[in-house]
Amino acid sequence: MNAKKTTQRQGFKTNEFIVYPAHGVGQIVAIEEQEVAGARLELFVINFVKDKMTLRVPTSKIASVGMRKLAETPMVKRALETLKGRARIKRTMWSRRAQEYEAKINSGDIVAIAEVVRDLFRSESQPEQSYSERQLYEAALDRLSREVAAVQRLTETEAIKEIEAALAKGPHRGPKPEAEEDAVVEEEAA
């Protein structure tokens, strides 16, 4: 009986941080049994502190809902590298792109979420975002920063600073270093 319970739990333990695709990073606060419609169900009790929400997920359903452990450090590094890449914005209608972004955010895949952050990021010198773009950007940034913070044991504010630093290193985003500008001026004078 005990071996069956462990397989159903798939290595998840109480007090462990996990990623639930539709809600982001949460913490398993308990594993309890409840009787529902005459059947005994073992449930993970997952607390999402920032959302002030508690979710109960049957242990047998964790694979189908896509619940996973926090990303490993190399995967977080890959996500942060993704932020430094060139934004890939398709030439489709905004409603279609918004659906794709929403699907990536809710996929629970840290690299896909990083792609949304990268594609919707606007630096100070770029035009203002629409309300819906801003909402999607903030949702993706929130999910990404929570997981980066949990994996690297940082505060969310520190995680956001790290994400923004990676975004600034992307093409045509940050201010040019002064040394480069001086070199261009010297070439023209020669």
Where exactly are the structural domains of the chain? 8-69, 73-168
Tens digit of pLDDT for each residue in 139-154? 999 999 999 999 999 9
- Say what the alpha-carbon torsion angle 127, 157, 23, 138 is, to the nearest 10 degrees: -10
117 neighbors 167 (Cβ within 8 angstroms): yes
Region 105-132: what's the mean pLDDT?
Answer: 89
Q: Does residue 174 register a pLDDT over 60?
A: no
**Residue 106 Cα distances to 23, 24, 28, 120, 144, angstroms:** 8, 8, 19, 16, 11
**Amino acid (1-letter code) at residue 151:** V
CATH class of the 8-69 domain in this structure: mainly beta
Q: Does domain 73-168 match CATH 3.40.50.970?
A: no
